[in-house]
Amino acid sequence: MSNPPVRQDRPARARTGRRLALVLTATGVLVAGATIALAPSASAGTTLAASAAERGRYFGTAVAANKLSDATYVGILNREFDMVTPENEMKWDATEPSQNTFTFGNADRIVASAQANGQRVRGHALAWHSQQPGWVQNLSGSALRSAMVNHITRVASYYRGKIYAWDVVNEAFADGGSGGRRDSNLQRTGNDWIEVAFRTARAADPGAKLCYNDYNTDGQNAKSNAVYAMVSDFKARGVPIDCVGFQSHFNAQSPVPADYQANLQRFADLGVDVQITELDIEGSGTAQADNYARVVRACLAVSRCTGITVWGIRDSDSWRASGTPLLFDAAGNKKPAYTATLNALNGGSTPPTTTPPPAGGGCSAAVTVNAWNGGFVATVRVTAGAGGTDGWAVGLTLPAGAALVNTWNATPSGPSGAVQFRNVAYNGRLTAGQTTEFGFQANGSAGTLTPSCTAS
């Protein structure tokens, strides 16, 4: 179904070494690029982050540095969300206002706040035709291409190891029926500019997931078909792309398309994660609540839909404030859309994963490793057997010289050698076939990790 464009040109607004991928499993094969969900601070099932984590996903929000002194804003942020995306603070005009002069102060505030509260960060956005500083707008050709490569290298290197996923390229395709690239100064440097951006980002921050992000691609249409063709080509040629972001800005003129879930699934079938990156839905009451629930259920139905980010916290924080598009009202009260979202995360008939349970009860574990020179991040998926689990423990032996740096969603028995990772309070109880994930970062070499899982 064709998804009508929201607008032709988006105004500047407050929204938006080679990686080694190994997949090792005790009982089967796990698709690379699985979700890592950080532990939220509240009890499972009572907050967006906790409920999403139970389904193997994250639930995030866009954050503005100048609102981190607002007690109501920060209270909701730290209670409800386990992923943050800087609204503007990592964009080109904010991080390199003058050529080769980099400023990271406001972005650093957001990253530091996230780290202090056990939240991860999506980096947004390394290369975009909008919100470029004046000096970039005055460049073209090889000079602009060199500036782009330098910018991506410097910003991604500065935050290396601190970013879960980068929106490497943002909004590079045109609206309408042409299915072509947007005519921008970056596009005019050559049609390979997106590939160059992704390869540059991989070299600068090899442990981060690399995403393409766009709007009006939520259903199958000329624009989403063009993005799909690019991703398919990148995967076939080994261009490093790990995920595709769907902004999902909906209103009466641009509603949730009928084929929303099917569209997410066809991208996932290419071998990339899909993420809902900038969700907001204008409206109020039951209609808005139903649409939020529909989006959540679609993500839960696609095993590689790894998380949802809403673009702001309160309606008054939104770039579309007049449309009251978010989950909390201006005073910070939960709206019906919040309740519908939480209920959709907590229940319904949609399974969180298509992974079948291992026969004979117990549990199984599988590991995905993103490695670089000197360190690696491992994601471990635990799948309950036919009898379900009340708790689980996964054993892994780290190679000599490797040591844990940090762990999320599990408690390790020690920093090195034979380590046993036990569930935390909110993710130990799994029904038959249900999955949960934990992860860890370590220095040294990943070697060969062979997991074992014991259920209780």
193 neighbors 145 (Cβ within 8 angstroms): yes
To 10 degrees, the CA torsion angle through 381, 85, 80, 41? Answer: 60
- Alpha helices (H) in 180-307, listed in sequence order: 193-204, 222-237, 260-268, 285-301
77 neighbors 110 (Cβ within 8 angstroms): no
Quick check: is 278 catalytic?
yes
Q: Which of 87, 89, 171, 278 is catalytic?
A: 278
Query: b/e map of 187-209 (b: 16 or more CB within 10 Å)?
Result: bebeeebbbbbbbbbbbbbbbbb
Could you give the angle at the alpha carbon of 3 between the alpha carbons of 349 and 307, nearest 5°? Answer: 45
To 10 degrees, the CA torsion angle through 46, 50, 55, 59? Answer: 110
Residue 161 tokens, joined: 């190891």
Residue 70's alpha-carbon distances to 77, 190, 339, 369, 404, in angstroms, are 10, 44, 24, 38, 35
SS3 66: helix
- Give me the amino acid identity at 254: S
**Would you call the peptide bond into 125 cis, given omega within 30 degrees of 0 as the criterion?**
yes
- Give me the amino acid identity at 88: N
Strands 120-128 and 165-170, how do they pair?
A: parallel
Residue 200's alpha-carbon distances to 12, 18, 126, 277, 413, in angstroms, are 25, 10, 10, 22, 37
- Give the residues across from 213 on adjacent strands: 170, 245
Residue 411 tokens, joined: 């408690």
Q: Quote the CA–CA distance of 212 and 192 in Å, as a whole number.
A: 14
Q: Quote the CA–CA distance of 326 and 329 in Å, as a whole number.
A: 7
Residues annotated as catalytic are 278
